[in-house]
A = this chain, B = another copy of it.
Amino acid sequence: MSDDERLAQPATADIDLVTVLHALGDPVRMTLLLSYADGGEHSCDPRGLGLEHLHKSTVSHHMRVLRESGVTTTRVAGRNRFVSLRRADLDARFPGLLDAILTASAAPLP
């Protein structure tokens, strides 16, 4: 964590399983999750995420759903915002869940 401001997000203990599954039960948000799974911070610019076909406001909506569910955190630094996965928080709240989802995402496509 840095001293920069963060957008509103649930405390770790308040992360809700059904809300997390709902957040990840969407193809755009799954695409975002897989980008964030590298553990780094990502700009909110959808370019480079394979989501160039979507309107910026649509991507912003999906990013907000992820953040409000507790999957991601958004750091505000001046006019920039950086999104990253709350892996430690998710692992603490639901041990093994994120790993199982990421593993499943790599299963052979139908």
Q: Please report A residues at the B interface, Cβ cutoff 8 Å.
A: 10, 13-27, 30, 93-97, 99-101, 103-105, 107-108, 110
List the B side residues contacting A99 at CB < 8 Å.
Answer: 96, 100
CB distance from A101 to the nearest CB of B (A): 7
CB distance from A7 to the nearest CB of B (A): 19
List the B side residues contacting A103 at CB < 8 Å.
Answer: 94-97
User: CB distance B16 to A25 under 8 Å?
Assistant: no
For this chain, the copies found in one complex come to 2
CB distance from A92 to the nearest CB of B (A): 10
Please pick, from B13, B17, B107, the residue contacting A104 in the complex, using a CB distance under 8 A.
B17
In the complex, which of the residues A93, A97, A105 has the most CB atoms of chain B within 10 Å of its own CB atom? A97
User: CB distance B17 to A105 under 8 Å?
Assistant: yes
Q: How far is the CA of A22 from the CA of B45 in the complex (A)?
A: 25
User: CB distance B93 to A13 under 8 Å?
Assistant: no
Q: How far is the CA of A18 from the CA of B22 in the complex (A)?
A: 9
User: CB distance A104 to B97 under 8 Å?
Assistant: yes
Q: How far is the CA of A25 from the CA of B108 in the complex (A)?
A: 23
